[in-house]
Structure 1
Amino acid sequence: MARMIPSVISPETKSGAEKKIFKWFENAPSTEDWVVFHSLGIAHHQTLIEGEVDFLVVAPKLGIFALEVKGGRVKRKDGMWTFTNRANQVTTKSRGPFEQASEAIFSIMDAIKEKADAAHYNVSNLHFGFGVMVPDIEYGTMGIDEEPWQVFDCNDGDNVRDFIIRLAEGSKKKYEETYGKLNPSKLPTTQDAKYLISILRSDFDKVLAIKARINNAEQELIELTEKQYKCLDQIEENRRGIVYGPAGTGKTLLAIEQAKKSVANGKRVALICFNSSIGTWFETYFNELAKEYKPAYVGTFHSLLMHVMNLAGEKMIVPSDENSKKDFYEEILPSKALEVLIENPLLEFDEIVIDEAQDLIREKYIDVMDLLLKKGFEHGYWKFFGDFSRQAIYADGIDGHQMLEQMEDRTSFIRYKLTENCRNTKQICDDIQTITGYEAPKDLWTKVEGLPVDHKTCSTEDEQLEKLESLLAELQEKNIEKGKITILSPKTRDNSVVSRVEGVKIRDYDFKSSDNITFSTIQSFKGLENSVVILTDVNSYNAVNLMYVALSRARTALYILETKGAHSEYSELLKRRLLNG
């Protein structure tokens, strides 16, 4: 099976021929080290302002090949090409598929030459060729600008592997007729293929990053790290998997991508989280930016249970006081949902994808998932993404190791560990390590330099208020966008110093706060992030799990307003870390 990039074909692909060929490459035997790009964009095309090639195949020991696909009926007469699709729509062009493929491969090799670094410059001189695939017809007559070995037609069936080998042999022979014997060093290696992924996939295979800043409607494209792509590729081959890693390793992005891939493959998917803010963001993202990939259900686990009860015609009233509310969500609601689903399976999903899995691994919750999932929890498809180190702040004392043991008692699954922080600067990572004692693998923390973490020590609440207002004024003077600033506190707003701030508009965090500074409790902001975070009301650093969540929300700048007692704790923690090397 070749490695496909992207790993699933987009629902927007209209060509039935391309869809077939994508599957043929995906399932081709003895192609494990091949990389096949689909719809690769070409920013600097030889003859067009920009262009695209249907498939680009990087096959170690064979070469790099651009493939143009034409489905339906294909005809050439007097130099003009006519293409007729399944709906009998006719298109006439002077540029034929051979010319398109030829221009594409030369444009791609030029792009590779521009992008390749000194250590990999040889990739710009690798052997290459091009071909045309017309899987719906028998292609007979050959023109003077084409060779029989360059064409894949209905007589080839689904044997794309042999076609690439044929292309490699034919293009090699043609090269040697002109330039002499082909040097084996010009054939790509497996390492060359991996490097080409890093410089080519960024042209088109990108996903929208969660920026829990402004109103979260502002989305910018970011490229996932190669390790993250490897994660998606690996878990694709397994029914069940847990992807885990510390804050900042991109778990939520990967959960979204997993859900989108499964939807694209025709599955009925539930994308579930714990935090209501994340649930709201998921809903906004799919409604506004990815409608064609929207899962059958998107939102929090408890909202899903309420939906089940509504379908059953049973109205559930959420208690107002916090203790009763906790019991309602953890015991009463899942128990009632279980009773309903046992009697009547109102909902069923082909796959469940869960973000913030560390907060949802409870026996009763899993019992509910068992009834919601086709083939059940033991044999069905599910993918969990979570942090089983420090972020399980609702786990009632059960650590990450025990959670995973609970899962193993019920079924088998693959594990994949993320080990690269792609959110926080080096200075923020250092402070997380000092305060929480979290000994991360040395490759985890990012090497990106940023601003020093600014600890502001306050003797009284009045002094904390003064320093907070002064900091907000300073940030405004430096033209920091208000929407990029979030104030976090372990306390509710009414009990926080924030309630005393005057002259500055501070909104409770939501997804419509693009022009305002926002406030949130640490617990409610779990899973989210912003460029600048101000952590207030820090009386102690003893609650390390809560502190871990709070500190890791900041992308580029972190300010901490702490009491003298908390500052003394921090000094001791820093001293201990320095002594321990």
Structure 2
Amino acid sequence: MAIMIPSAISPDVKSNAERHIFEWFENAKGTEDWIVLHSLGIVNHNKYIHGEVDFFVMVPMLGLFALEVKGGRVKRTNGIWAFTDKYGHSDMRVKGPFDQAWDGIYSIRQSLSNKLDTAHKHLEKIFFGIGVMFPDVAYASVGIDEEQWQVFDCNDGRNVRAFVERIAEGSIKGWNVQYGDVTLKNRPTVEDVRYLASILRGDFDMALSLRVQYNYIEDKIISFTANQYKCIDQLEDNPRCLIKGSAGTGKTLLAIETVKKYASRGEKVALFCYNNLLARWLQQYFEKQVEDLRPIYVGTFHGYLMKVAQQKNTMVKSPDSAEQIKLFFEYELPAMVSDTLKLQGGIFDRIVIDEAQDLMTEEYLKCIDSMLRKGISRGKWIFFGDFNKQAIYAHDMIETNYIDMLDKRTSYIRYKLTTNCRNTQYICDQIKVVTGFDKDVQYESMVQGTPVEYRIYKSKDDELKELLTILKELSHNKVESGRITILSPYKREKSVVSMLSGVKVENYTIPAPEEITFNTIQGFKGLENTVIILTDIESYEDIKLAYVAFSRARSGLYVLHSKVAHDEYNQICIRRFLNG
């Protein structure tokens, strides 16, 4: 993937053609040493007070290339260019894109000549070329001021690398006529490319603060969720559905939209989940919806069972000890209300469950069967879950165990969500490294984002120092406090967060505070935030917990791990590499 400067395309860029080409360069294989500057402004333009090149591509051992991009329909009549967008609006120009590109490259060369230091004066004679990109059309009109090899059109697909290499090869003849034979001295090295980038864009990319980068990234990630809605359409004619998907594939979003769809039709719908915080978030969401879109019940499954139990016996309370609580909610409570639910008979027309992997036991399914009209076998239900990677409360169960439990009860369709629409490419890559879970989710369309940062600590005091450094960096970059959540495998009193002073960190609640928040990894399952800081990581042995932890971050992820965990991480990386 090429190094893009800036690293995220601005939402202000209206050209879909430029957005696509930015992504194609960003994802082009074999371009790791390339540097691509987007919308490079030229103050000392040779014909205008201020000019701009759409893409300026600097390639080690090839050269420098100015690329103009023209989206939509293109036409040239009697020397007049016409560019028509998808809305039918036309822009007429005498100067064509090839002339623009040549003006741009000569202006850049002149600007560079005035800025080169003594050690880099040889770059005044660096090899260069131009190209014009028409990604939306098949371009066949080649005039006297252009060559076919200078043109990228829809027939090139997404292969921007081949296009630049084609320009480099085609430009040699013209260069030889004007400047003499091309030699290695005319080709930039990797160091030359980096030096030129520092001159042309300087600290521009650094000045694009993390806060702004995160905004760009999240705007882009949100746009991906639209492709998840096709799942809803495919469920229309199927009363019973099991939707499988890894973290970040849009399960909760789809559960919400499904509930709204059927509630609007007058169905009595229940939306159940396992996690208390997720339940409160869902409740808050539906409170803002018009009444016709709200389910009859939204909240935790256990909360509903307690409601039924307390209607029968107001003295029912959950026990105090952790061991008794587990026994009560998994066995005693379901048994207590199962007969009551059966007598009430078919309370809900449809049941939708998010985090279904945490609620599929024989005891719970018996209760669901009683509260659903026509039961599980003939009733309407949709279960969303990640039955392998996020089943952190499972009793050594695997996906086939869950499937078997449903198969013996009824027939239903299965649908798999495969596109991650929450996490950036860097985060997805680290999820694959740490957990080995890489077969079920497509990562190729993800936003690249910012690299995941690992910090090693040798003691709690050392970890505290690293945590404070991260928080200071985020504050310096003006990342809003409410977009930062610190997660730990331990409760607050056992976490490094308990040692913080002078920094306000609130326990995560719904609605979320505008301050930096803290929660356990387990308690935050099903939720997310812009920046996640993982603390107190002493091992990666529990890969399901690691999977939940890493996948909570939308844009920025920091990992504070011990020296032992760091060594374990290195061994995991080696093992993944050797296994291909």
TM-score normalized with structure 1 length: 0.62
1:467: Cα distance to partner?
A: 0.8
Query: Is the contact made by 1:531 and 1:556 (CA closer than 8 Å) also made in structure 2?
Result: yes
Match of 2:280, SS state, is helix
Matches within 5 A, 1:447-466: 447-466=446-465
Q: Give the Cα separation in 2 of the matches to 1:345 and 1:574.
A: 55
Matched, 1:565 2:564: yes
Q: Which residue of 2 aligns with 1:328?
A: 328
Q: Give the Cα separation in 2 of the matches to 1:572 and 1:507.
A: 35
Matched, 1:420 2:419: yes
Matches within 5 A, 1:339-358: 339-342=339-342, 344-345=343-344, 348-358=347-357
1:360: Cα distance to partner?
A: 0.5
Unaligned runs of 5+ in 2: 1-83, 91-132, 139-217
Matches within 5 A, 1:546-561: 546-561=545-560
**Residue 221 and residue 262 in structure 1: after superposition, are their counterparts in 2 closer, same or farther (change >3 A)?**
farther
What are the superposed Cα offsets for residues 469-527 of structure 1, whole Å, 9 maximum, x if unpaired? Answer: 12111211111100000000000101111101000110000123342000000000000
Query: Is the contact made by 1:311 and 1:346 (CA closer than 8 Å) also made in structure 2?
Result: no
Q: Which residue of 2 aligns with 1:366?
A: 365
Q: Which residue of 2 aligns with 1:471?
A: 470
1:119: Cα distance to partner?
A: 6.7
Query: Is the contact made by 1:349 and 1:374 (CA closer than 8 Å) also made in structure 2?
Result: yes
AA in 1 matched with 2:275? N
AA in 1 matched with 2:277? S
Q: Which residue of 2 aligns with 1:520?
A: 519
1:389: Cα distance to partner?
A: 2.4
1:304: Cα distance to partner?
A: 0.6
Q: Give the Cα separation in 2 of the matches to 1:442 and 1:350.
A: 32
Q: Give the Cα separation in 1 of the matches to 2:256 and 2:383.
A: 11
Q: Give the Cα separation in 2 of the matches to 1:442 and 1:300.
A: 28
Percentage identity across paired residues of the two chains:
45
Q: Give the Cα separation in 2 of the matches to 1:236 and 1:118.
A: 40
Q: Which residue of 1 aligns with 2:228?
A: 228
Matches within 5 A, 1:69-84: none
Q: Give the Cα separation in 1 of the matches to 2:561 and 2:221.
A: 36
Matched, 1:303 2:303: yes
TM-score normalized with structure 2 length: 0.62
Q: Give the Cα separation in 2 of the matches to 1:282 and 1:330.
A: 23
Unaligned runs of 5+ in 1: 1-108, 123-217
Q: Which residue of 2 aligns with 1:388?
A: 387
1:466: Cα distance to partner?
A: 1.0
Matched, 1:259 2:259: yes
Q: Give the Cα separation in 1 of the matches to 2:368 and 2:322.
A: 25
Q: Which residue of 2 aligns with 1:35?
A: none
Q: Give the Cα separation in 2 of the matches to 1:230 and 1:484.
A: 30
Match of 2:270, SS state, is strand
Query: Is the contact made by 1:486 and 1:518 (CA closer than 8 Å) also made in structure 2?
Result: yes
AA in 1 matched with 2:285? Y
Matches within 5 A, 1:431-510: 431-441=430-440, 443-444=442-443, 446-510=445-509
Q: Give the Cα separation in 1 of the matches to 2:327 and 2:318.
A: 10
Query: Is the contact made by 1:227 and 1:418 (CA closer than 8 Å) also made in structure 2?
Result: no
AA in 1 matched with 2:360? I
1:400: Cα distance to partner?
A: 1.5
Query: Is the contact made by 1:235 and 1:241 (CA closer than 8 Å) also made in structure 2?
Result: yes
**Residue 512 and residue 219 in structure 1: after superposition, are their counterparts in 2 closer, same or farther (change >3 A)?**
farther
Q: How many residues in Structure 1 have an aligned counterpart in Structure 2?
A: 376
Q: Give the Cα separation in 2 of the matches to 1:478 and 1:110.
A: 37
AA in 2 matched with 1:431? Q
What are the superposed Cα offsets for residues 412-436 of structure 1, whole Å, 9 maximum, x if unpaired? Answer: 1100000100011111111111111
Q: Which residue of 2 aligns with 1:375?
A: 374
Matched, 1:292 2:271: no
Query: Is the contact made by 1:422 and 1:446 (CA closer than 8 Å) also made in structure 2?
Result: no
**Residue 346 and residue 577 in structure 1: after superposition, are their counterparts in 2 closer, same or farther (change >3 A)?**
same
Match of 1:523, SS state, is coil
1:454: Cα distance to partner?
A: 0.7
Q: Give the Cα separation in 1 of the matches to 2:371 and 2:221.
A: 34
Q: Give the Cα separation in 2 of the matches to 1:227 and 1:515.
A: 31
Query: Is the contact made by 1:308 and 1:347 (CA closer than 8 Å) also made in structure 2?
Result: no
AA in 2 matched with 1:427? Y
Q: Which residue of 1 aligns with 2:338?
A: 338
1:253: Cα distance to partner?
A: 0.2
**Residue 239 and residue 341 in structure 1: after superposition, are their counterparts in 2 closer, same or farther (change >3 A)?**
same
Q: Give the Cα separation in 1 of the matches to 2:337 and 2:134.
A: 60
Q: Give the Cα separation in 2 of the matches to 1:349 and 1:401.
A: 28
What are the superposed Cα offsets for residues 218-271 of structure 1, whole Å, 9 maximum, x if unpaired? Answer: 999945645422211111110100111100000000000010000011100001
1:448: Cα distance to partner?
A: 1.0
Match of 2:518, SS state, is strand
Matches within 5 A, 1:196-215: none
1:355: Cα distance to partner?
A: 0.4
What are the superposed Cα offsets for residues 147-171 of structure 1, whole Å, 9 maximum, x if unpaired? Answer: xxxxxxxxxxxxxxxxxxxxxxxxx
Query: Is the contact made by 1:309 and 1:315 (CA closer than 8 Å) also made in structure 2?
Result: no
Query: Is the contact made by 1:424 and 1:446 (CA closer than 8 Å) also made in structure 2?
Result: no
Match of 2:450, SS state, is coil
Query: Is the contact made by 1:533 and 1:553 (CA closer than 8 Å) also made in structure 2?
Result: yes
Matched, 1:404 2:422: no
1:441: Cα distance to partner?
A: 4.2
What are the superposed Cα offsets for residues 304-348 of structure 1, whole Å, 9 maximum, x if unpaired? Answer: 101111232443111111111111110111110113223x31760
Matches within 5 A, 1:134-145: none
AA in 1 matched with 2:397? I
AA in 1 matched with 2:326? K
Matches within 5 A, 1:18-167: 112-113=87-88
Match of 1:267, SS state, is coil
Query: Is the contact made by 1:540 and 1:566 (CA closer than 8 Å) also made in structure 2?
Result: yes
Q: Give the Cα separation in 2 of the matches to 1:449 and 1:220.
A: 10
What are the superposed Cα offsets for residues 268-323 of structure 1, whole Å, 9 maximum, x if unpaired? Answer: 00011110111101110011244431100010000110111123244311111111
Query: Is the contact made by 1:507 and 1:517 (CA closer than 8 Å) also made in structure 2?
Result: yes
Q: Give the Cα separation in 2 of the matches to 1:222 and 1:561.
A: 28
1:398: Cα distance to partner?
A: 0.5
Q: Give the Cα separation in 2 of the matches to 1:226 and 1:479.
A: 30
AA in 2 matched with 1:572? Q
